[in-house]
Amino acid sequence: MDYIDYYKILGLSKSATEKDIKNAYRKLARKYHPDLNPNDKEAERKFKEVNEANEVLSNPENRKKYDQYGKDWKHAEQFEKAKQNQQQQRQHRTYQGGGQSFNESDFSDFFASMFGSAGSRQGGQSVRFRGQDFHAELHLNLKDVYTTHKRTLTVNDKNIRITIPAGVANGQEIKIKGHGGPGINGGPGGDLYIKFLIENHPTFKRVKDDLYTTVDLNLYTALLGGDITIDTFDGKVKIKVKLETQNNTKVKLKGKGFPVYKKEGEFGDLYVTYQLKLPTALTEKEKELFAELAKLR
Amino acid sequence: MEEPTIISITTFCTQYNVPETFIQSLREYDLLETVREGDMEYIRVTHLQRVEKMIRLHFELNINMEGLDVVNNLLQQVWQLQQENQELRDRLKLYE
């Protein structure tokens, strides 16, 4: 746990007036407010810092203690009495927005050691807010989301069984109603948001509902045509290779791609790119025959 | 039992402890569409999260109605860019 320079966080000097503090706080709060910076964890962190700095410096009593004892925070027991007084005045408020959420009680250890887990908040309207929305990430591989299946997750010591619909997209979020934090000041409870992070498969790449893959094609099948069998998520599929197929030729297998989210029976397409593999370690006889072929050209 | 899809403005304002004039202002600035049934006006439950956000921005950051309109439009653009960015990242994985 390190000493935190609250003046530096607000970009102020120790001689800053109350008005300077208020102005600096408002300016930085507008800059880093989670509602204005959706999905930005760095902004969320800075907003917490700015709030904490303001909690201390905007309260003359806290500021005095901080100026006097800040660097000796390890002797925090000296503030125990003050802490007890403050605990009676605690007021928590939850900020949420754009996929971000946090509670003001989430102060640094440094702050907690000097002022208790939450400092006193002066004034302000006691607005009732819905409980904190919880956000969780679930890492899945591509094969996992090819079919609809159920999973049991443990969130905040509670087991929740969820259905993961086939075709869910990378980065997509689903909302589980009522599994967030309790309401603040009598507000309704929050929700749980689960974000799916899907890794691409080693041989299949997904773009929306379509899949892309590359398969090796030997020289003879490429030249003379024929049948090859390839693996798909739906099992093995036989493809007819056309006569004189060129390297990097792309063919579309309609309906063999990824299931379309929440549209049962609908699938994207599978695009197969042929990668020509030339024979190596030719025998004398093969060399002779290729030389003969070359002469014909 | 089916969950309600609308909430009366009076209930909402009591629950969230905000004045009804705030909701009226949101409506006047086209920041919120309300539903009228008989003499009562309602907010759609699907709009709650957006209204909560506007409450926070207005009361905590002192952003006025014009400012909320600008913020909403810019956040919509941010969201679209993030979506586009995600799609491009997915496409880029094809070449990795």
Domain boundaries, chain B: 6-95
Q: Which CATH superfamily is domain A6-115 in?
A: DnaJ domain (1.10.287.110)
Nearest alpha-carbon partner for A263 in A161, A131, A165 = A165
How does pLDDT run across A143-176, given as a tens digit for each residue?
Answer: 999 999 998 888 777 888 888 999 999 888 888 8
- Cβ–Cβ of A130/B62 closer than 8 Å? no
Nearest alpha-carbon partner for A153 in A206, A118, A192 = A192
pLDDT at position B1 is: 58
Given CATH 1.10.1660.10, say whether it is the number of domain B6-95: yes
* Same topology between domain A134-199 and domain A205-296: yes
Give the percent of chain A with pLDDT over 70: 78
Rounded Cα distance, A181 and A105, in Å: 13
Higher-confidence residue of A109 and B22: namely B22
Structure token pair of residue B36 = 């009228």
Confidence class of residue A127 from pLDDT cuts 50, 70 and 90?
A: low
pLDDT at position A71 is: 64
- Which residue in A33, A102, A177 has the most chain B C-beta atoms within 10 A of its own C-beta, making it the best mutation to test that interface? A33
Euclidean distance between the first and final Cα of chain A, in Å? 78
**Closest CB from B59, B71, B94 relative to A125:** B59
State the smallest CA–CA distance between residue A21 and chain B in angstroms.
15
Q: Which CATH superfamily is domain A134-199 in?
A: Urease metallochaperone UreE, N-terminal domain (2.60.260.20)
- Cβ–Cβ of B57/A35 closer than 8 Å? yes
How confident is the model over A266-289, as a mean pLDDT? Answer: 95
Nearest alpha-carbon partner for B10 in B41, B36, B32 = B41
Pairing between β-strand A134-141 and β-strand A192-199 as defined by DSSP bridges: parallel
**Closest CB from B52, B75, B90 relative to A129:** B52
How confident is the model over B62-80, as a mean pLDDT? Answer: 90
pLDDT at position A57 is: 92
**Closest CB from B15, B18, B61 relative to A30:** B61
pLDDT at position A106 is: 59
Mapped onto helix, strand or coil, the DSSP state of residue B86 is helix
Rounded Cα distance, A218 and A297, in Å: 21
How does pLDDT run across A197-228, given as a tens digit for each residue?
Answer: 998 788 999 988 999 999 999 999 999 999 99
Q: Which CATH superfamily is domain A205-296 in?
A: Urease metallochaperone UreE, N-terminal domain (2.60.260.20)
pLDDT at position A78 is: 52
